[in-house]
Amino acid sequence: MIDSSLKNKIEFILVEPSHPGNIGASARAIKNMGFKNLSLVQPKDFPNDDAYYRAKGAKDILDDAKIYGELSNALEDSTLIFGTSARARTIPWPTKNSSELTSVLKSGLQSNNAKISFVFGREISGLSNEELQMCDYHIKIPTDEEFSSINLSHAVQIISYVIKMELQNKEYVSEFKSESTTFQDNEYLIDHFDKVMKTIDFYDQENPKQVKTRIRRLVKRLQPDKLETGILRGFLAKIEQVLNKKN
């Protein structure tokens, strides 16, 4: 038996799913594994009879699904974010196989405010680079290398099964309680860096975007806690103050 408070800290987000049937099959998949939180970002066609038909006994998951216009809104309170993808991208991100989630999940579930999000992409094109860069880790389900793209709801089934196994086989009792930073806290920090770097002309004007992406990757990789984020924000604010006095 897994403590339901642990399971409630896990959510599944589908970004712009095109086929209502896949939404229903995903709802069924997560309920089969004992989870209940499903969010949809701009679903093409939902609510829809086909989704309800494919959900079978998981209609409650569809009734309770949260709908968002943007992935960033769906992620606002998330404290740990996994983006799933079959393909490696240009700026490599910390990546895990679906069988290597133990230590990250364990530390992610320690905090009082833990909300762990698993993000899934569009049937045709997956997640964009920008969406993947909102995540702390990328997960690849190991498949045959020649044929790696799994049906959306099947990917949801595999990931939800893996997390269920993780939660039931490992000791997830908290040793120390802390407060994690949320996606939104990290976005404020990244934007603050960006703003100050622009003010002091730190950016290479030819290619400014890569610097911000690398700062983003640094923040995601280090996962500073609330106190550390506060120090960095305070430091940046002080630089702005000093610059304002000079001008």
The single residue among 4, 97, 148, 199 that binds ligand SAH, judged by CB under 6 A, is 148
150 vs 232 by CB, closer to ligand SAH: 150
**Residue 43 burial (CB < 10 Å; 0-12/13-18/19+)?**
buried
127 scored as a contact of ligand SAH (CB under 6 A): yes
Q: Which of residues 89-118 bind ligand SAH (CB under 6 A)?
A: none
24 scored as a contact of ligand SAH (CB under 6 A): no
Longest dimension (CA), the chain: 66
The single residue among 42, 50, 107, 150 that binds ligand SAH, judged by CB under 6 A, is 150
Given the structure tokens 């209609």, which residue do they identify? Answer: 59
Strands (DSSP E) found in 105-241: 116-120, 137-140
Q: Are strands 80-84 and 137-140 parallel, antiparallel or unpaired?
A: parallel
Minimum gap (Å) between residue 139 Cβ and ligand SAH: 6
155 scored as a contact of ligand SAH (CB under 6 A): yes
Crossing angle of the two packed helices 226-246 and 183-199, in degrees rounded to 10: 20
The single residue among 152, 162, 189, 219 that binds ligand SAH, judged by CB under 6 A, is 152
If binding means CB under 6 A, how many residues of this protein chain bind ligand SAH? 19
Of 72-80, 147-155, 161-169, 232-240, the segment contacting ligand SAH by CB under 6 A is 147-155
232 scored as a contact of ligand SAH (CB under 6 A): no
121 scored as a contact of ligand SAH (CB under 6 A): yes
143 scored as a contact of ligand SAH (CB under 6 A): yes
Cα separation of 192 and 176, whole Å?
30
Contacts of 87 (CB under 8 A, 6+ apart): 126, 148
Burial 13-31 (b: 16+ CB within 10 A, else e): bbbbbebbbbbbbbbbbbb
141 scored as a contact of ligand SAH (CB under 6 A): yes
The single residue among 9, 104, 126, 157 that binds ligand SAH, judged by CB under 6 A, is 126
CB distance 51 to 62 below 8 Å: yes
CA proximity to 108, closest of 43, 168, 172: 172
114 vs 156 by CB, closer to ligand SAH: 156
Cα separation of 159 and 29, whole Å?
10
87 scored as a contact of ligand SAH (CB under 6 A): yes
CA distances to 65, 151, 230, 245, 246 from 241, in Å: 44, 52, 16, 6, 9
19 vs 220 by CB, closer to ligand SAH: 19
189 scored as a contact of ligand SAH (CB under 6 A): no
155 vs 219 by CB, closer to ligand SAH: 155
**Binding positions for ligand SAH, rule: CB under 6 A:** 84-87, 120-121, 123, 125-127, 139-141, 143, 148-150, 152, 155
